[in-house]
Amino acid sequence: MEIVVSGIRPTGDLHLGNYFGALKNFLKMQYENNCYFFIADYHSLTTHPTPADLHGNVKRVLVNYLAAGLDPEAACIYVQSDIPQVTELYLLLNMNAYKGELERVASFKEKIRTQPDNVNAGLLTYPTLMAADVIIHKAHKVPVGKDQEQHLEMARTFANRFNRLYKVDYFIEPVAYNFGEELIKIPGLDGSTKMSKSDNENSCIYLGDSAEAIRKKVMKAVSDQGPTEPNQPKAQAVENLFNLMKAVSAEDTLNHFNDLYNTCQIRYGDMKKQLAEDLVIFTAPFRERILELSDDNAYLHKVATQGAEKARESASKTIKEVREIIGFRAF
Ligand code: TYM
C-alpha cells in the first residue's frame, strides 16, 4: 500500500484548478492507498490573513474537501497546524536548505516580482515546509497540479540530503503524481494560463459558485475577434475556453465548437453560454453539499479531530526516529 499526501492552502472555496489539479484523481485513490489530505494553513500565513479569515478559510476548505467526495473514513483529512511535528521537521530541514537554492525556486522569484513589499522568510522557505508536509508521512506520491512540480523536486532534494548527511536510507523520494495522467494546469477566464485566486479572483470558477456568478464570470471571459482563416491557431485566451470546455463538457459539445472555430463560424457568445451551462451543471452537486455541510459544525469538528489524531500518530513516529538519527538523545 502506498502513502499518498497532498494539501491545499486555505483561501476560501476550492476552484476548478484545485479540483482538477489536486483532488479529482485523489478521490479515486483514497480507497486503495494510505491517504493524507490536509489544509495548509501554516503556508497561508505568508499573506498575513486576519484570525477570522484564517479560521473561516480553513473551514471552507474542509467543507469543500468533504463536498468534493473525500471520505474521512478512507483518507485522513487534517489541518496542518494541528500537527506541530511538521514545524519541527521544517526547522530541521531548514538547517540543510541553502539560501541560493531557495532563491532559485520559480514561485519565490515570482513573489519577489509581484509582491516586493512582502518577501518574507516564510516565502523563501516555503519549499522546506512543503517537503516536511510530505516526508513527515514518508509519502510515495503527491497529487498536485503542474505548478507544484518544482516544489516536489525540492522535497526529493531535502529527503536525499538528509539521508546522505546522516548516512541512512530513511526518507523515500516523493513524486508529483496525477494517477497515471499528466500533471495539469487549468487555465483562468482572464486569458492567463493558470486559474489562480491570488492572480485574479474573477478568473476562477469555485465549486461553491452560484449559477448566476458562473454565468456572469464566463460571459466576461477574455476571447478574441474570432478566426479569419480556416484552422487558424488559437490565441491563448481562446485555447483556455476550449480547455475549460474539455474539462467539464461532453466531447460532442467540444467537437462542435472546435468545428465552428476551424470553419470561422464560431460565435464566442454561444460558446460561452454553453460553457457556463456546463459549468453550472458540473458544480451544482458540489455547491449543494457545500451548503449542507457548512452548518454542520459538529461533523466538521469530528472529522478534523479524528484526522489530526491519525496524522499526529504518523508524524510523531517520524519525528521520534528523525531525532534519534540526528543524535538528540535523552540523558
Ligand atoms: P495551492 O493551494 O496553490 O493549490 C492547491 C493545489 O491545487 C493545484 N492547482 C492547480 N492545478 C491545476 N491548475 C490550476 N490552475 C491550479 N491551481 C492550483 C496546485 O497544483 C496544488 O496541487 N504548496 C501547495 C500546498 C501544499 C502542498 C503541500 C501540496 C503545501 N504543502 C504538500 C502538496 C503537498 C499550494 O500552494 O497549493
Q: C-alpha distances in angstroms, 317 versus 137, 247, 310?
A: 9, 40, 11
Residue 28 has pLDDT above 90, yes or no: no
234 carries an active-site annotation: no
Q: Provide the pLDDT for residue 323.
A: 98
Atom in ligand 1 nearest the alpha carbon of residue 18: 7
Grid cell digits, residue 119: 518577501
Span between the terminal Cα atoms of the chain, in Å: 38
Instruction: Please give the distance, rounded to the nearest whole angstrom, from the Cα atom of residue 230 to the centre of ligand 1.
Output: 38
59 carries an active-site annotation: no
pLDDT, one tens digit per residue, over 80-106 is 999 999 999 999 999 999 999 999 999
**Residues of the chain above pLDDT 90, percent:** 94
> Which are the contacts of 7, defined by CB distance < 8 A and separation ≥ 6?
37, 38, 39, 40, 43, 80, 133
28 carries an active-site annotation: no
pLDDT band of residue 199 (cuts 50, 70, 90) is: confident
Grid cell digits, residue 257: 465548437
DSSP type of residue 171? S
What does the pLDDT average to over 171-199?
A: 92
The packing angle between helices 236-248 and 251-262, to 10°, is 160
Instruction: Please give the distance, rounded to the nearest whole angstrom, from the Cα atom of residue 107 to the centre of ligand 1.
Output: 12
Instruction: Please give the distance, rounded to the nearest whole angstrom, from the Cα atom of residue 145 to the centre of ligand 1.
Output: 6
Task: Exactly one of 24, 59, 141, 197 is catalytic; name it.
Answer: 197
Q: What is the DSSP string of 39-60?
A: E-HHHHGGG---HHHHHHHHHH
Residue 274 has pLDDT above 90, yes or no: yes
**Residues of the chain above pLDDT 70, percent:** 100
Ligand 1 pocket mutation pick from 4, 5, 11, 18 by most atoms within 8 angstroms of CB: 18
Cα–Cα distance between 139 and 201 in angstroms, integer?
Answer: 32
What does the pLDDT average to over 48-59?
A: 97
Contact 249, 271 (CB under 8 A): no
Q: What is the pLDDT of the chain when averaged over all its residues?
A: 96
pLDDT, one tens digit per residue, over 306-328 is 999 999 999 999 999 999 999 99
pLDDT, one tens digit per residue, over 214-267 is 999 999 999 999 999 999 999 999 999 999 999 999 999 999 999 999 999 999
Ligand 1 pocket mutation pick from 89, 144, 156 by most atoms within 8 angstroms of CB: 144
Residue 283 has pLDDT above 90, yes or no: yes
Domains in the chain, CATH or no CATH each: 3-184+296-326 (3.40.50.620), 201-291 (1.10.240.10)
Q: Provide the pLDDT for residue 202.
A: 87
Q: Provide the pLDDT for residue 253.
A: 98
Alpha-helical runs (H) found in the chain:
16-18, 24-29, 41-44, 51-68, 85-94, 99-103, 106-114, 121-124, 126-135, 149-165, 211-219, 236-248, 251-262, 268-294, 297-326
Instruction: Please give the distance, rounded to the nearest whole angstrom, from the Cα atom of residue 6 to the centre of ligand 1.
Output: 8
Q: What is the DSSP string of 194-206?
A: S--TTT-GGG--B
Cα–Cα distance between 313 and 316 in angstroms, integer?
Answer: 5
pLDDT, one tens digit per residue, over 132-172 is 999 999 999 999 999 999 999 999 999 999 999 999 999 99
Instruction: Please give the distance, rounded to the nearest whole angstrom, from the Cα atom of residue 102 to the centre of ligand 1.
Output: 18
Closest residue CA from atom 34 of ligand 1: 6
Q: Provide the pLDDT for residue 19.
A: 97
Q: Provide the pLDDT for residue 49.
A: 96
pTM, two decimals, is 0.96
Counting beta carbons within 10 angstroms of the beta carbon of residue 229, is it exposed (0 to 12), middle (13 to 18) or buried (19 or more)? exposed
Write out residues with Cβ below 6 Å of ligand 1: 5-9, 17-18, 20-22, 40, 43, 130, 133-134, 142, 144-145, 147-148, 151, 184-186, 194-196
Residue 198 has pLDDT above 90, yes or no: no
